[in-house]
């Protein structure tokens, strides 16, 4: 018979204000199997934990129920407490009387009764608990970073710095990501390329870092510490090892109609190309959609001119399979689709552009070599109107409900740069709110208004239309309460940002969760912001939520610290709540192996004694405890009831159902 | 235990998966979004851990409504668990309906860890619906009553 101790936490007044904790402790103390009960202000505190430890030792407890906050909060804490007092950590059950009781119910009587029922339910389950021992697995001392933008680069550099090997998988032909496309960065206005490209070179030169560019993650197997990842290296049609990056193929390629993605499709590039001069790896790639040789079989100019003999039209996608201990997602963002925002005329007017397109137009390496010219007629725009929150903070369903966070700052930057370079230009900004929290951010914005005379108009824009070659921006000025129309030469939309679409596929491969806006969910919004809820998967940069470069870099380094912490371990404890099959009941039908998402169940032939000296060999299920993640799909699918899930056994859940239904 | 409320209080059992819906319930709690106290949550690792037997047991023991909450389709922590759960529950609920347990007494809802508001709304609606339907006597095993 078990000897159970019940510990009721007040959580200061969080629980005690609505739940009569004394009565809960007293009532539960009389339940069968319970030999000790107590209440205390903060069970999770040093003193509270001491109280639990003392009680375990003095009363010889075999299991404890803690009535407190959610098990997602402190289950691990109390398991450690129990363990340090010599109890098996899995002989601990939590009754969630804060999130499920005191915080949502106001009536003290009602709340107290519910707390007692939840306590009883936990006791009913605990009576059927058995001590569980976690197995151990090794850790592969290598990390994978998915995405080679500033977030991925920083994470990889920091991990490599600690002495571990890192692979960066980047879907584009070069690393650098969005930051490589930017002109200047706020609030210091240093040039993006000047601070980013040295880091890219560091990555290429670091012997611990392997860059797999133009590659995608295809398949992920395994679990924390022991992932096996299959990576598809897309055919470049160029031998990476031979290519010297001289660029001759680019200059001789006769097919020059491909849209230059790096320049936001503002100009064209040849079919054989290097995305930009500082690309890492500095290796060309051939676009099969545009290459005349690959499409018609006639041409082959680049192959003739290439001195390194690097061109290989027969190249196929290849696959590499590697083992990793940890995986970092750093897939970044893109500009949201503006198809639902016809009022701004983005699709119809060449001179209505997004901010990222403006970055390219202002960049010295961009399509206009840094001179700000309108895309339609290559003239200098004299009146430029910026429109904020295009698709951000939009609850109509067309846009994004969140604030994209970086737009207020980069618009101030754009306005300032334009006024600095072209003082004859008039700059207007339509805004809903100006949000500039951050070190030196508000000062930066004020400089735009005060020193550079940028005209900030509080109000929304209803319509942008073309009239005699001028873009008429019709909006309201909420401060003067007037309808205004500004005849502009160029309209710049601060379009909402959204996670890179490939993140959905990656999240599915990694079995990690994603929120309604396609941002990856962190394990805890405040306390575990760089870890995903799936063990061994970490988050870096924009894939987790909108953030600017300084924040991205801090998060990337934080992420690296977490990865290093994991890789530094030699052994990891496994989750002991895994499936177990009862050989005597298993009929070897194969149903459980079919439903298992991890392939953790295999079949083995075992010899069974039948009595009278006879034996028979039967095929039975065998669960690989290191691979099983404990979802329980097999337990329900099993027709003979042979498989059960440790920690959540059928009997335990049945006991819980019975306990909650007891009136 | 003393009777607190003489008027009818339906008993609702909610199975919540650990990763999404249980976290959604926690978020409802930390956002102070109330729902009736007679909703009792049982934590399971995944919605696919919910054996149809658990639901039958709940009705047998006098539950008036049973709701199962899991991660949204495609978002399951274990990749595909909620798809298995959805199929099983569709079959089970049809069978229960045939036995006279009205379909409205059983429900499957997808609640993510970010949807505290949805969790509370779903529980309020479901409880109101069960109140309308009244007590469930069809499967209740009177021998289990003290």
- Global ipTM: 0.94
Whether the Cβ atoms of residue A415 and residue A454 lie closer than 8 Å to each other = yes
Q: How far apart are CA A558 and CA A531, in angstroms?
A: 10
Q: How many CB atoms lie within 10 A of CB B95?
A: 12
Orientation angle between helical segments A46-59 and A71-84, nearest 10 degrees: 50
Pairing, β B39-44 against β B12-17: parallel
Each domain of chain B, given as residue ranges in start order, spans 12-144
3-class SS letters over A546-564 = CCCHHHHHHHHHHHHHHHH
Quick check: B8 pLDDT over 80? Answer: no
In terms of CATH architecture, what is A579-646?
A: 2-Layer Sandwich (3.30)
Mutate to test the interface with A, among B46, B115, B119 (most CBs of A within 10 A): B46
The pLDDT tens digits for A334-361 are 999 998 899 999 999 999 999 999 999 9
* pLDDT of the residue at B112: 86
Where are the alpha helices (H) located in A426-480, listed in sequence order?
A: 441-450
* pLDDT of the residue at B73: 87
Pairing, β A226-233 against β A209-212: unpaired
Q: pLDDT band at B6, cuts 50/70/90?
A: low
Q: Which superfamily does CATH assign the domain made up of A334-498 to?
A: FAD/NAD(P)-binding domain (3.50.50.60)
A44-51: list long-range contacts, CB under 8 Å, 24+ apart: A44/A9, A44/A68, A44/A69, A44/A74, A44/A77, A44/A78, A48/A7, A48/A9, A49/A77, A49/A78, A49/A81, A51/A7
Q: Chain-wide mean pLDDT for chain A?
A: 94
Mutate to test the interface with B, among A14, A18, A99, A631 (most CBs of B within 10 A): A631
Q: pLDDT band at B146, cuts 50/70/90?
A: low
Identify the CA nearest to B13 among candidates A75, A113, A663: A663
Give the number of residues written for chain A. Answer: 663
HSE (CB half, 13 Å, CA atoms) of A464?
30
- B30: nearest CA in chain A? A99
Quick check: A476 pLDDT over 90? Answer: yes
Mean pLDDT of A17-26: 96
Mean pLDDT of A615-641: 91
* pLDDT of the residue at A516: 77
Whether the Cβ atoms of residue A642 and residue A586 lie closer than 8 Å to each other = yes
Whether the Cβ atoms of residue A588 and residue A619 lie closer than 8 Å to each other = yes
Choose among B4, B29, B51: nearest Cβ to A650. B51
One-character DSSP codes across A73-97: HHHHHHHHHHHHTTS-GGGEEEEE-
- B24: nearest CA in chain A? A99
- A598: nearest CA in chain B? B78
Quick check: A129 pLDDT over 70? Answer: yes
Q: Find the radius of gyration of the CA atoms of chain B.
A: 15
* pLDDT of the residue at B3: 44
* pLDDT of the residue at B2: 41
Q: Chain-wide mean pLDDT for chain B?
A: 89
In terms of CATH architecture, what is A142-234+317-332+500-567?
A: 3-Layer(bba) Sandwich (3.50)
Quick check: B5 pLDDT over 70? Answer: no
Mutate to test the interface with B, among A24, A117, A120, A661 (most CBs of B within 10 A): A661
Each domain of chain A, given as residue ranges in start order, spans 4-126, 142-234+317-332+500-567, 248-305, 334-498, 579-646
Identify the CA nearest to B37 among candidates B121, B95, B124: B124
For chain A, the farthest-separated pair of C-alpha atoms sits apart, in whole angstroms, at 104
Distance (Å) of CA A241 to CA A244, A245, A281, A282, A310? 8, 11, 10, 11, 8
Quick check: B1 pLDDT over 50? Answer: no
Q: pLDDT band at A372, cuts 50/70/90?
A: very high
The pLDDT tens digits for B34-45 are 999 999 999 999
Q: Domain B12-144, CATH 3.30.960 — does that match?
A: no
The reply to whether residue B61 touches residue A657, judged by beta carbons under 8 angstroms, is yes
The first and second tokens of residue A608, run together, are 């069974």
* pLDDT of the residue at A22: 96
Give A27's contacts in chain B (Cβ within 8 Å).
Answer: 1
A4-126, what's its fold? Rossmann fold (3.40.50)
HSE (CB half, 13 Å, CA atoms) of B126?
28
- A28: nearest CA in chain B? B1
* pLDDT of the residue at B139: 81
* pLDDT of the residue at B4: 43
A423 vs A524, higher pLDDT: A423
The pLDDT tens digits for A295-326 are 999 999 999 999 999 999 999 999 999 999 99
Choose among B51, B78, B120: nearest Cβ to A511. B78
CA torsion through residues A218, A224, A225, A226, sign: negative
Are A334-498 and A579-646 equal in CATH topology? no
The reply to whether residue A534 touches residue B57, judged by beta carbons under 8 angstroms, is no
């Amino acid at each position: 018979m078990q000897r159970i101790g019940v510990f009721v936490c007040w959580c200061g007044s969080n629980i005690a204000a609505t739940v009569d904790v004394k009565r809960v402790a007293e009532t539960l103390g009389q339940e069968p199997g319970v030999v000790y009960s107590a209440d205390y202000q903060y069970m999770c505190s040093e003193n509270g934990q001491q109280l639990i430890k003392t009680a375990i030792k003095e009363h010889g407890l075999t299991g404890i129920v803690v009535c407190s906050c959610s098990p997602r909060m402190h289950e691990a804490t109390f398991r450690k407490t129990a363990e340090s007092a010599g109890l098996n950590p899995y002989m601990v059950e939590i009754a969630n009387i804060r999130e499920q009781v005191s915080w949502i119910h106001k009536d003290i009587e009602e709340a107290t009764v519910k707390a007692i029922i939840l306590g009883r339910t936990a006791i009913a389950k605990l009576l059927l608990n058995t001590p569980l021992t976690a197995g151990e697995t090794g850790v592969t001392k290598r990390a994978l970073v998915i995405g080679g933008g500033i977030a991925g680069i920083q994470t990889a550099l920091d991990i490599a710095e600690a002495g571990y090997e890192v692979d960066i998988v980047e879907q584009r032909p070069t690393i650098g990501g969005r930051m490589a496309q930017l002109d200047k960065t706020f609030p210091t206005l240093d040039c993006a390329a000047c601070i980013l490209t040295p880091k890219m070179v560091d990555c290429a030169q670091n012997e611990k870092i392997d860059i797999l560019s133009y590659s995608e993650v295809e398949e992920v197997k395994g679990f924390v510490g022991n992932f096996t990842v299959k990576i598809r290296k897309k055919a470049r049609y160029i031998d990476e090892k031979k290519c010297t990056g001289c660029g001759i193929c680019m200059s001789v390629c006769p097919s020059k109609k491909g849209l230059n993605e790096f320049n936001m499709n503002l100009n064209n590039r040849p079919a054989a190309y290097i995305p930009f001069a500082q690309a890492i790896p500095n290796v060309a790639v051939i676009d099969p959609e545009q290459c005349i040789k690959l499409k018609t079989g006639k041409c082959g100019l680049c192959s003739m001119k290439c001195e390194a003999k690097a061109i290989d039209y027969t190249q196929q996608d290849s696959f590499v399979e590697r083992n990793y201990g940890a995986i970092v997602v750093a897939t970044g963002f893109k500009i949201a689709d503006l198809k639902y925002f016809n009022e701004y005329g983005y699709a119809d007017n060449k001179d209505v552009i997004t901010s990222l397109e403006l970055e390219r137009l202002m960049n010295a390496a961009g399509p206009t070599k840094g001179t700000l010219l309108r895309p339609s007629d290559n003239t200098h725009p004299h009146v430029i109107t910026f429109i904020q929150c295009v698709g951000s903070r939009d609850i109509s369903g067309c846009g994004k409900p969140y604030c994209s966070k970086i737009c207020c700052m980069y618009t101030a930057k754009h306005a300032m740069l334009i006024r600095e370079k072209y003082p004859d230009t008039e700059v207007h900004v339509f805004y809903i709110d100006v949000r500039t929290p951050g070190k030196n951010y508000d000062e930066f914005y004020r400089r735009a208004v005060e020193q550079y005379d940028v005209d900030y108009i509080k109000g929304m824009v209803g319509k942008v239309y073309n009239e005699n070659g001028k873009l008429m921006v019709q909006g309201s000025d909420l401060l003067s309460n007037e309808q205004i129309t500004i005849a502009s030469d160029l309209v710049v939309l601060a379009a909402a940002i959204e996670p890179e679409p490939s993140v959905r596929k990656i999240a599915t491969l990694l079995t990690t969760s994603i929120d309604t806006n396609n941002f990856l969910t962190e394990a805890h919004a405040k306390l575990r912001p760089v870890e995903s809820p799936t063990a061994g998967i970490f988050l870096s940069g924009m894939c987790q939520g909108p953030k600017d470069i300084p924040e991205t870099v801090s998060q990337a380094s934080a992420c690296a610290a977490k990865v290093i912490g994991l890789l530094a371990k030699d052994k990891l404890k496994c989750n002991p709540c895994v499936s177990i099959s009862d050989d005597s009941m298993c009929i070897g039908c194969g149903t459980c192996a079919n439903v298992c998402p991890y392939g953790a169940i295999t079949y083995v032939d075992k010899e069974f004694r039948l009595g009278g000296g006879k034996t028979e060999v039967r095929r039975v299920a065998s669960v690989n405890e290191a691979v099983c993640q404990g979802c329980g799909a097999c337990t329900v699918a099993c027709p003979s009831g042979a498989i059960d899930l440790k920690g959540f056994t059928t009997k335990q859940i049945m006991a819980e159902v019975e306990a909650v239904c007891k009136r | 235990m003393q009777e607190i409320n003489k008027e009818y209080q339906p008993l609702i059992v909610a199975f919540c998966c650990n990763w999404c819906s249980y976290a959604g319930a926690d978020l409802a709690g930390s956002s102070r979004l109330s729902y009736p106290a007679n909703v009792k949550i049982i934590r399971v690792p995944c919605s696919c851990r919910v054996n149809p037997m658990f639901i039958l047991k709940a009705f047998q023991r006098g539950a008036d409504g049973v709701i199962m909450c899991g991660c949204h389709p495609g978002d399951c922590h274990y990749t595909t668990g909620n798809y298995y759960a959805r199929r099983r529950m569709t079959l089970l609920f049809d069978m229960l309906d045939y036995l006279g347990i009205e379909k409205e007494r059983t429900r499957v809802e997808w609640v993510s860890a970010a949807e505290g508001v949805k969790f509370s709304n779903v529980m309020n609606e479901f409880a109101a619906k069960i109140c309308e339907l009244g007590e469930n006597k069809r499967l209740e095993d009177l021998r289990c009553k003290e």
